[in-house]
Each structure stands twice: as C-alpha cells, then as structure tokens.
Structure 1
Amino acid sequence: MNGAVDLPLDAGEQRFEASGESLVRRSVLPSGVRILSERVPGARSATIGFWVAVGSRDEQPVTYGSTHFLEHLLFKGTASRSALDIAVSFDAVGGEHNAATAKEYTCYYAKVQDRDLPMAVEVLADMFTSSLLDTDEFETERGVILEELAMADDDPADVASERFFEAVMGEHPLGRPIGGTVESISAVSREAVWEHYRANYRANDLVVTAAGAVDHDELLAVVEGSLRGAGWDLGVEAAPVPRRTPSLVAPSQGSPLVLVQRPIEQANILIGVPGIASRDPRRATLSVLNSVLGGGMSSRLFQEVREKRGLAYSVYSFTPSFSDSGVVGLYAGCSPAKAGQVAELMLGEFRRLAADGISETELARAVGQLGGASALALEDSDTRMSRLGRSEITLGEFVDLDEALRRISAVTLDQVAELAAELVTRPLSIAAVGTVEEETFAPLLSS
C-alpha cells in the first residue's frame, strides 16, 4: 500500500494490502452498515468490534451519562439471551468481551479464537440490536454505575483528569465527564436512555470491524445473517451517517485554575492547553513533540523532574484529539510541598521547547520510539481492530504502518518548533488534587 487509502461513505467495496502483507477489505451495505476487516497472516485469534459514532459529547442535558449507562445495559440481556447467557458465551471459549464509551464513539468488542468468531458476531449483534433495557436491570445497573463513579472519585488521578478537561474545554460537550455525574445518573430515566438507544443504534450508524484470523466474506455473511435474525430489514436503503464535522462552537477555557482539596499523600497536577483536531495534518508533528516532551523515559519531563531531581515517580505528557479540538497535557504526581516546583519545571520544559525547538538527536529518537511502539502495538489484533474503527468513524482514511512511519519520518525540526510555539500561546489551565493551595500555582498563570 502506498499512501493512505480514502474510505468514501458512498463506496461499495474496497480491497487493498497493508504493511506486513495483511489484507484489508471494506463493504458498505445498501442499509448503510459498514464492515471492515484486516486479515493478518499467521493469526489464530480475532478481535471483533461493533461501533457507533455516538459518545458522551452527543448527549442532551436530560441524558448526561446515558451513553455510558447504555453501554452497561447492553450486557444485561435480550429477548433470546440473559446477562448470564452473554457472559457464558465468551467464558466457555476462553474469550474476552467488553465495551468502551468515549467522548465521540462507543465500541462493543470481543476477542476469541478464529473458530469462535461467528459466535462472537452473533452475540454482539444480538446485544446491539435487541437489548431489552429491562426496568429492574436498569435500576440494578444504576447502582453499579454509581459505585463505578464512587470508585473513580476515590482515585485522585481520575478526579484531576476530569477537572482538567473541564478547565480546558469549559462548557463545551468535550469537557463533560464520560460517565456522567452522581446527579445525572441518579436522575436519568429508563425512557430517556431507551430513546437514546433507538435514535442512535440503527443500521446506518453501525460499523463492524474485525482483525486477525478473519475471512471477510465469511464475516460479511455472519454479520448480515445475525442482523437479519435480529429483525433488521437490511433491504431498506440508507446512506451511512455522515462523519462528524467540527462543531460551530469551539471549546473555550472553563477556568485557568481548578483545585480539589483531598487529604492525600501526593498532589496530582495537570497542566495544559487546547490541542489540535484528529484530522489536523500536524498530528504526526504533535506525536513527535509529545515524544520529546513527555512520551518516555528519555523525554525532557521524565529526565528533568524524575531522573535529575527525584521529585516525582510518574510524570508524562499526553495529546488526545477529537473531531474539532484536542488537548496537550502534562501530568505529575508529587509531594504537596514540591507541587509548585514540579509545576514550574513542567511548564518550563513546555515553554523551552516552544522557544528553542528540539535537537536532531531528539527528533531521531522520537521517530524511532514512535515507529517501534506502533509496530509492537500492531502485534495485537485489538489494536488493529481499533485502528479500523477509528479510520472509518473519525479519519475517513486508512493509514497502515508504512504510511504512518513515512509521515513521522517526514516531520522536521522547524515543524515541531512552529507547532510548539503556537500551542504555548493558547490559554493555560491547571488542575490539581491534594493538599494544594491557590498561591502555589497562581504565579505560573501570570508569568
């Protein structure tokens, strides 16, 4: 494969080889269902995912947290399978099954031996199309989710992360917690979640991706058979739902400083600015920037804060991106007495990178790190399945390992410096959890 392959929504069939001699195929059914597979030579297992491009950012005020709530409920039974039946289906073959709710999508997935892939497709299709959202199960799961939120609230790193997104994104939907809040989960009704389910889990919303030991024609047949068996009329023509376009309302800073007082041993500190969108052509440049800044043990943050000064055990940077925005964040956990010093050092490294750029040695090391990490990740069919899903739902193109490495290798010193210089001018937000005081961080926001 030379270069990226576009994935037009109106294309019927596509077939191409990717790096490592894997075979990628894509079918768009008349009903709008999209099915993508990547057959990997020598694989004996496969990972299958059922995706819908609806996440926490798409919820209405009366349904905050309903996307995550619904994710739980789809495991609780259908007209033909109980919750135990679903669990036994995978446990009996040593498989794994789970789901993930994100800000812009939801995915239900399973990993099984190749011989068990038809079973996995049938069970996931049944869950996706025919969940009952039983009233009693709904109330039981409400309690489970409230316990999940309580568990997250006991983790200061989780709390800091939620407060950080709120600080950077403000009232924008991307700033909301994915799981909702205790108040919203306690208040949401079964009817509201049911309407959310029926409105967003339709044929032209569905994307099915599979990677590993998978034959595309067989996958296509079992997906179509399972959906028809669930009562879906695949003969009704419908275009796939359009890919998400950037919101007309850009995120705006919620607060430059958010502090949560907790009597714990460490201060959990997050510092950052708005980043770039997932389809921004500078994503490869940002990956290099992140690698140099805080992406590994040789990174500037790790070396300066941990290795040279011993001020933190965990310190790193991260750069999540979404359809219309993103975040560049720096994290450290340290003694509350050292919080000001650690925050100053982290911000100083970010600003130094923007002022002076990076060296040729750092660029070469980042390219090597990113290339190696990408290659190792693709040893796992889970990663390949997820790559197909993100390619279809978010990017509109498939980028294999060779093309990804080409893009990373094409990044220049000037491009990294220019992007860093732009990012450092954006509104700065700080979130911290622990025994922390405003005067510790206020000078950094005014400097």
Structure 2
Amino acid sequence: MAPRTTPTGQQDSAGRSALSQQKVGSTRTLHTVRDADGQVTSLVRRTVLPGGLRVISERLTGTRSAAVGVWVGVGSRDESATLHGCSHFLEHLLFKGTAERSALDISIALDAVGGEFNAFTAKEYTCFHARVLDEDLPLAVDVLGDMITSSTITAEDVEAERDVILDELAMHDDDPDDVVHNLFAEQAWGRTSPLGRDIGGSEASITALTRTQIRRFYRKHYRPANMVVSVAGNVDHAALVRQVRRAFGRNDFLVGDEPPAPPRPASRAVRVRPGTVEATRPFEQVNVVLGMKGLTRNDERRFALGVLNTALGGGTSSRLFQEVRERRGLAYSVFSFASHHADSGLVGVSVGCLPSKLDDVLAVVRAELARVADEGITAEELARGKGQLRGGLVLGLEDSASRMSRIGKAELVYDELLSIDDVLARIEAVTLDDVRSIAAEVFGQPEILAVVGPA
C-alpha cells in the first residue's frame, strides 16, 4: 500500500490554502503522511510569530539530520538601477559579523559540528541555509537568527567584501554558460528591467554602492513579515518555534502585529522582447540560448509545460539530445529549460558547439521546436516525460535539504503547500492535448536568441 497524504489545511474559494488567514501565535498542521501501517512518516506544521515571521517544518522519521533555511522575499528584481547588486552584496555582508559573533565565530560555530552553511540570491528571494545533525539544530537556528537580525555591516566589511564580489563577477564573466544566460535574460526583459539585469550586479554598480545604501536596503526588506524559517528533518515543531523566538527575538525584531507579507503580486505581465543579441568572448565554443516567452509561476499549465520540457530536452532520451548530439554529433551539451517568475517566464534551449556547427545547430533546434508546435509529442514521449518528472521529484526529495527548500519556497512565493501526492497527481493528469496546446502557444511565438563565442 502506498503512503497516504492527509492535507489538513483549509482551502479558500479559489482552492488555495488560506495560510494568510492564520492568526499570530497559532500553529496549523498542513500535511500528514502515513505509511501502510498508519504510522506518521512526515508531518508539516506552520506557526506565525509576532511581526509576521513564519515558521514551517517537516518532521521526517528515520533521519538524524536537519536542514534549516531563512527565506527572505527580496532579490535582484527589487533593486533600482543605482542599487543593482545590493541583494547579493548584502547576502555576503551578513556573514561578516554581529555584536555577538565575528565572521570567524560564525564560521567556527558550524564547522565545529560538521555542518554545511551557505546562502544564495535569486531574482525574487534570498536564502540563508544550513544542514546539521539534529542535535545541533538549535545552534544553527541561533547563528542564522543572529546574522539576520543583528548584522553590523561595518564600513570596513563593506570595502573588503566589495573586492570579493568584483572578483566573483569576473569569475562569472569567464564562464560561457553564465554569460549567455545573462545575455538571454537581458534581451528578453531589457537592461532597464530588474529582471533583465545580472543578479550579482555590474562592476560599475558594485563599485558605486555605499554602506548607507546597503544598510537602508537591509532595514527595508529584512523584516519578519517578509521572511520564512523552514526546517526539515528530525525536528520537533514546538521546540523549533521556541528556538526561533529566542534567536530572532534579538533587537526587538519580533515586535508588532504585521501579518505575513503575501506572495509577490503579478497584476501586470512583464513584457518579453524578441530579438537577437551577440557577444564576443575568447572561448573555444559558441554558446547559444534560443527561447521564447514562457509561463508565470502560478499558471496551472506549468505542469503540462514541465512534461513538454522533459520530452523535448530534459534527458538523454529527449528529442533534442537524440537529434542534436546522438544522430548528428553537432554538440556535446544540449538541453531545454523553463523558468517561472511571479509575472513572467521564459522557455528555451541551451547548446554549446563548435563555431563551425552553429548554423546547423540552430537549424535543427528551430526545426524541432516548429515540429513540436505543430504536432505536439507522442504518447510514448508523454509517458516517458511524466515518468521522468515523477522520478526526479521523488528522488530529489530524499534528503532534508531538498525538503526544507520545497516547503520554504512554497511558503514564501506561493502561499500554499501542495503535498507531493498533489504534485504527482497534477503531473499524471497532463494529457496529449494539454501538451499540444501549450507547445503551439509557447513555441509559436517570436524567438529570443543569445550567442556568445569567438568572433
């Protein structure tokens, strides 16, 4: 008998979990998964603390680890032109020290218990995360709480980290894959749009950012209502809530009755611009991204697009891999992708090839996209795409860090948490007609082409 998932969150008239209606201080159980004997194997619970800070956890039986993440609803698209790169700059600076801990103290605290500790900045959110033994979870929560609420952001740290970030930007500029995807986004959304700009900033913007600007950005966006603390593994939710209260209670951070911030609004779709853009770099290969406008994050057709993307270029049995690499030997690497944001999205194909094969690669990719737009995919490809998506989803959630990311991101950007069974059911419900319809709509649009390589 398969595990049974019991969703216990209330649903509103639109079918979404009414999480935003939860009162401060209350705890709700969102999902319970039981095995064939009725024993609980997974339990997802949610608490809203003062100030609107959300704490969500998934208790997994049979594990000795715990992963914790602090998700902040701010990313590069929240920056003006003068603040370009500020989110990423701030991510670096929060590791530099607090009134209680120096940068070395922060590093030692997690290293001493064998923990993993890092952070990343995206276009719409920032995440600070750690993975430790279950017994060391209180330490990880305390370190993260100290960093988030009490960073000193000194002038000396700003200047030291400025050089580190400039080195990081130079490193990415030497990576052809990074360069071509940044160029693709810039063409799609425009250099004046925050979505079209590089997450890390530019040499000019990072050089010009001041400590005052960064501190103001910090105070504006790093508010409890704009944050989610997510934990997965061998965790007791009630004990976790107490730990978060202590760790994030510094400097009166958890004060006020502000409700949790809703997901980023998508009232108006961001315009996507077709066109071609090229950049010359002294690389051996030509790197290409060819794509079109995609779907927004909440578009219910994203499951059909996921199946289509997998069949088209999601693995070694996909159409593009077989046609471009196996049959014709035109490229070593070829894959398709779909990215989703609150009010925009992109789909595309990424290829790296020798300069002499560029024209042939583009001809084959365009022909395959046109064929899929006209004919859809076969029943065999549909079944294979569903199977690959299901397997990738389940296998990708075998560790506590993946589970933490799933519930944290869902809480921050969706305001609902679909159970794994719900997601699998939506994948299984995709039909050939669904795929054919979305293929015709997406791949029938004007193309965006980015090319990076030698002159």
Structure 1 counterpart of 2:403, one-letter code: R
How far 1:114 moved relative to its partner?
0.1
Which residue of structure 1 lines up, in the alignment, with residue 428 of structure 2?
Answer: 409
Unaligned stretches of 5+ residues in structure 1: 437-447
Which residue of structure 1 lines up, in the alignment, with residue 146 of structure 2?
Answer: 126
Distance 1:309 1:138 in 2: 51
Which residue of structure 1 lines up, in the alignment, with residue 243 of structure 2?
Answer: 222
How far 1:340 moved relative to its partner?
1.0
CA deviations on 1:7-46 (whole Å, 9 max, x unpaired) are 5212142203147631000011232110000001101101
1:104 matches 2:124: yes
Structure 2 counterpart of 1:213, one-letter code: N
Alignment of 1:80-95 (within 5 A): 80-95=100-115
Distance 1:125 1:10 in 2: 25
Q: How many equivalent pairs are there?
A: 434
2:218 aligns with one of 173, 185, 197: 197
Identity percentage of aligned residues:
49
Structure 2 counterpart of 1:159, one-letter code: V
Compared with structure 1, are the counterparts of its residues 334 and 55 closer, same or farther at alpha carbon in structure 2 (3 Å cutoff)? same
Distance 1:3 1:160 in 2: 42
CA deviations on 1:329-386 (whole Å, 9 max, x unpaired) are 1001000000111111112111111111111100111111111111100101111111
1:366 matches 2:380: no
Distance 1:2 1:286 in 2: 27
Which residue of structure 2 lines up, in the alignment, with residue 177 of structure 1?
Answer: 198
Output the aligned Cα RMSD.
1.4
Task: State the secondary structure of the residue aligned to 1:161.
Answer: helix
Task: State the secondary structure of the residue aligned to 1:316.
Answer: strand
Distance 1:423 1:4 in 2: 36
Alignment of 1:32-431 (within 5 A): 32-170=52-190, 171-228=192-249, 230-246=250-266, 248=268, 250-253=270-273, 256-431=275-450
**Is contact 2:6-2:32 (8 Å) kept?**
no
How far 1:426 moved relative to its partner?
2.3
Which residue of structure 2 lines up, in the alignment, with residue 10 of structure 1?
Answer: 21
Distance 2:291 2:8 in 1: 31
Greater mean deviation of Cα atoms: 232-241 or 414-423: 232-241
How far 1:402 moved relative to its partner?
1.2
Distance 1:91 1:353 in 2: 50
Distance 2:188 2:43 in 1: 41
Distance 1:248 1:324 in 2: 7
CA deviations on 1:363-414 (whole Å, 9 max, x unpaired) are 1111111111111001011111111112111112111221111000000000
CA deviations on 1:143-169 (whole Å, 9 max, x unpaired) are 000000000001111100100011112
Unaligned stretches of 5+ residues in structure 2: 10-16, 36-40
How far 1:297 moved relative to its partner?
0.6
Compared with structure 1, are the counterparts of its residues 352 and 2 closer, same or farther at alpha carbon in structure 2 (3 Å cutoff)? farther
**Is contact 1:270-1:332 (8 Å) kept?**
yes
TM-score by length of 1: 0.94
Structure 2 counterpart of 1:431, one-letter code: A
Greater mean deviation of Cα atoms: 179-188 or 394-403: 394-403
**Is contact 2:80-2:194 (8 Å) kept?**
no
How far 1:250 moved relative to its partner?
1.7
Distance 2:289 2:55 in 1: 39
Compared with structure 1, are the counterparts of its residues 233 and 267 closer, same or farther at alpha carbon in structure 2 (3 Å cutoff)? closer
**Is contact 2:297-2:340 (8 Å) kept?**
yes
How far 1:233 moved relative to its partner?
5.0
CA deviations on 1:278-332 (whole Å, 9 max, x unpaired) are 1110111011010011001100010000111111111000101011111101001
Distance 1:405 1:152 in 2: 36
Distance 2:75 2:56 in 1: 21
TM-score by length of 2: 0.93
1:30 matches 2:50: yes
Which residue of structure 1 lines up, in the alignment, with residue 38 of structure 2?
Answer: none
How far 1:235 moved relative to its partner?
4.5
Task: State the secondary structure of the residue aligned to 2:50.
Answer: coil
